[in-house]
Amino acid sequence: MAETSFDLIVIGAGPGGYHAAIRGAQLGLSVAVVEKDDGTGIGGLGGVCLNWGCIPSKSLLKNAELVSQMKEADEWGFTFDNFKADMGKAVDRSRKVSARLTQGIGFLFRKNKIQLVKGKATLKSSTQVEVEGGDTLTGKNIVIATGARARSLPGLEIDGQSIITSRHALELRDQPKAIAIIGASAIGCEFAYYFNAYGTEVMMFEVMEHLVPKEDEEVSKELERQFGKQGIGFALGAKVGGVEKKGKRLVLKYEEGGEAKEFTCDKVLLGVGVQPNSDDIGLEAVGVKTYGPGFIEVDGFMRTNVGGVYAVGDVNGKLPLAHVAFDQGVLAAEMAAGHEAQPIDDYASMPRCTYCNPQIASIGLTEAQAKEQGINVKIGKVPFAVAGKSVAIGDSDGFAKVITDADTGEVVGAHVIGPEATELIAEIGMLKFLEGTNVELHRLTHAHPTLSEVIKEAGAAVTGEAIHF
């Protein structure tokens, strides 16, 4: 008979959950993970991230990048006839990538002697978890890592056929002629680039005044310029009214600048945020506090108001990013093990990435936020063209922008839009972690030729010392 008593029970095997489980096992705890996988894309080893989110979408975006480059084959000296890009095969490749990584999580569970229990979990008390159709597990500590799911809009209810989410888009093997994408944050922009690369007519709708509205305004404007060049349409400050079916197609009604307009398409993709998977898991019975649409309240150590119960990842609503869930899961496990730990309370210093082309990455404050806080702002901004490698690889659009406190030299924010921005931001993250200034950034020798030279030059530009700009 399988064990039913553990030091740590984790509900959910997504990014936060599996990190909590593995870290707990490393610290000598007996660990069980309860995972619901009903085929909806909410569950499975690795959660949404590995199965229906971060990983498969990046696989598809790589395909889109290659397709885009093939459109300029002549510039690269390539000549061929009858080029064809098969979206279905791109989807097949993405599923193989996901399968490989989820199998890896299974291996790590076995390696760390973590018991995986399949089924729907319900809290019965602060120490007991009932598994539907199975045993009731007892744990000294419980970590809730049930994640979140896409939400509908009034008049735009998700049906998986006409009104879809990113989860459905990841399985879409038949290319639509036209698609409407509602919401211009990371998910919306990534799928806009993907579909556009394959030749689908794309129209984005954003209620705010810019694409990626939470990014620095200069980044938003640069993305709008580059998306416009790629042929991606967008309506900003737009209010979407609803959708009507006309024959086999859809007519999306919206208002832009006070004028009523329509867009005819085959699919409508919603990318307007998430709702937590906190319903129907027994929170009320145990007395766990929630806020907003059901996000679980936690402190800096991921503790809920109920002793021994923690919540990590998207379900706590702090910052719905996989890498944030990674760190929260580790912290919760360390707390459960009585390990000395530091709280997570500076979410502004978590990197934020968008993987369309151009890539976008940011950390810390935007220029507007820094000024609102009364910081004496000093900025270094240089175009990617200062890095010779960006010109050599044919990708020199975009820029790097470093925001500092002129009184202390502290880097309070950084914003990059251009090739491999999502990789380059890590350097700024380490600099902020070590409380460095722009001086360390530009005095550090960077290899040449590399894209990272744009970061060095941006740091130098703060004090007017950039050599190539």
Residues involved in catalysis = 448
Which amino acid appears at position 177 of this protein?
K
- Return d(Cα 198, Cα 395) in angstroms, integer: 20
> In sequence order, what DSSP letters do the residues of 243-309 get, joined into one string?
EEEETTEEEEEEEETTEEEEEEESEEEE-S-EEES-TTSSHHHHT--EETTTEEP--TTSB-SSTTE
- Distances in Å between the Cα of 320 and the Cα atoms of 47, 49, 149, 225, 388 are 13, 11, 11, 27, 36
* DSSP tag of 359: E
- Return d(Cα 227, Cα 3) in angstroms, integer: 55
Which amino acid appears at position 350 of this protein?
M
Q: Are 364 and 338 in contact (CB under 8 A)?
A: no
Indicate the pairing of strand 352-354 with strand 359-364. Answer: antiparallel
Q: Is 193 helix (H, G, I), strand (E, B) or coil?
A: helix
Residues 6+ apart with CB under 8 A from 411: 364, 402, 403, 404, 428, 431, 432, 436, 437, 438, 441, 459
Residue carrying structure tokens 């090739």: 419
CA torsion angle 101 8 314 18 (round to 10):
-10
Angle between helix 87-111 and helix 15-26 axes, rounded to 10 deg? 20
- Return d(Cα 190, Cα 60) in angstroms, integer: 10
